[in-house]
Homo-oligomer: A and B are copies of this chain.
Amino acid sequence: MVAHTRQDVANVPIRQRLIAAAVLAAALAVPAFADEAGPKVADFKLSNGLELVVIPDHRAPVVTHMIWYKVGSADEVAGHSGLAHFLEHLMFKGTAKHPTGAFSQVVAHMGGQENAFTTDDYTGYFQRVPSADLKTVMAFEADRMTGLQLTDAVVLPEREVILEEQNQRIGNNPRAKLSEQIEAALYLNSPYGRPVIGWRHEMEQLTRDDAIGFYRRFYGPNNAVVVIAGDVTPDEALAYAKDTYGKVAPRASIPPRQRPQEPKPIAARRLTMADPRVELPVLQRDYLVPSFHTAKPGQSEALQVLAHILGTGSNSRLYQALVMKEKLAVAAGAWYEASALDDSKFGVYGSPRDGVSLPQLESATDAVIEDVIAHGITTDELERAKTRLIADAVYAHDNQASMARWYGSALTTGATVADVEKWPDRIRKVTAAEVQDAARAWLEKTRSVTGYLIKDTHKAERRS
């Protein structure tokens, strides 16, 4: 039962989760509460440093409870890649008070759901349970915040689990491998170049001591944000938090989050990955661009509007030009990750129709981008993009987990509750000139890696 519950968690592909988050971040970024009549969000800080965000939603007697730690794969020590994600798995292995699997079992008995996720910047755990069970879940989560106990007997088999996960999600997935290679080539100095799941040869060496050392360094109330969305009042949630998380002593020395930064990019890079399992070739280009946290005011919002106009949905420039008019592609689009502590990525991608080469598709993609740089966007496009971005955020109030995710991802990547609430206003202020400027400034080839995924016809089985 426990194993089954855990299996469910493990079966949500990390890449899929990350991509889903990226798509959400690109399309929605941050909801539009302040003046879009969303709920009043409460924000507290406990004396031990824990931040608590409460998003009331009384439509049904359920709550979504998430704890976000401000630590991800970019905080790992080089040579120990995959450790943040490995620890995410090991967090289910029990404490002095609750043996392995007890927490998951309790959530299952409540009829609840649970999950966990790791990215470059944060690690999160969440449960969706009846609101009457909220405090129980918080007590369990507070217990494993500093009470985790690990032995080789549980650590070593779990290492096999993450290795198999790496195999399924990356090793056997040429598209995911392409992204991994592009990111490694994009970031010359930043730890964002490392895969979140880890390099396999380093994952194989991860130990119990690595995991416990990482846990003791980064897990504590003063490095965590609890986000609760659902059928609870801020005062109730605060009282529960004080009774549970409030009892946990702060971790003495949480290190500052200063990661190596990128040098100025000066050389356009390209890579080709051939794999015999490829049926549909892929063109993917990632550009190094500012995140909301590293951007000057307005730059990140202009990139969000640009990503929408260029490549979100079937009315986008890329889709219209490449799929509809020129009939060169079966898919085409663009995305931007705004939520990141350090410099982030803007991507364009496409897959050619039969008989169209990747260079042909790339030239046509370049032409679309160059047109935006040279001639800008129309007022109509700008207004449609803004309306859609803000509307999507409003619609997203409908989902507790999405709401909690926006706040959690913002607060663990350098933004504040006010930044989240003011997002619709900032989107409204974006001008057509700013979008054109963003395209000109950031969609420069020297800032990018262009990747081709092609079918390998030479080797029946690729060594990897």
Question: Which residues on A are within 8 Å of B, measured CB to CB?
Answer: 78-79, 81, 177-178, 181, 184-185, 188-189, 191, 193-194, 199-202, 258-261, 263-264, 266-274, 445-446, 451, 462-464
Q: List 30 A-B contacts (CB under 8 A).
A: A78-B78, A78-B259, A79-B258, A79-B259, A79-B260, A79-B261, A81-B189, A178-B267, A181-B188, A181-B266, A181-B267, A184-B188, A185-B269, A188-B193, A189-B199, A189-B202, A201-B261, A202-B260, A202-B261, A264-B464, A266-B273, A266-B462, A266-B464, A267-B271, A267-B273, A267-B451, A269-B270, A270-B270, A272-B445, A274-B446
Docked Cα-Cα span, A451 to B188, in Å, equals 15
Nearest to A264 among chain B residues (CB) is B464
Contact of A463 among B78, B81, B263, B264 (CB under 8 A): B264
CB-CB under 8 A from A270, the residues of chain B are 269-272
Contact of A263 among B189, B199, B445 (CB under 8 A): B199
Number of copies: 2
CB-CB under 8 A from A79, the residues of chain B are 258-261
Q: Determine whether the beta carbon of A78 is less than 8 Å from that of B191.
A: yes
CB-CB under 8 A from A193, the residues of chain B are 188
Q: Determine whether the beta carbon of B266 is less than 8 Å from that of A272.
A: no
Docked Cα-Cα span, A185 to B261, in Å, equals 16
Contact of A269 among B78, B200, B269, B462 (CB under 8 A): B269
Within the complex, what minimum Cβ distance (angstroms) separates A195 from chain B?
Answer: 9
Docked Cα-Cα span, A181 to B101, in Å, equals 48
Docked Cα-Cα span, A264 to B200, in Å, equals 9
Nearest to A183 among chain B residues (CB) is B188
Within the complex, what minimum Cβ distance (angstroms) separates A258 from chain B?
Answer: 7
CB-CB under 8 A from A189, the residues of chain B are 78, 81, 184, 194, 199, 202
Contact of A260 among B78, B178, B185, B274 (CB under 8 A): B78
Q: Determine whether the beta carbon of A268 is less than 8 Å from that of B271.
A: yes
Docked Cα-Cα span, A201 to B270, in Å, equals 25
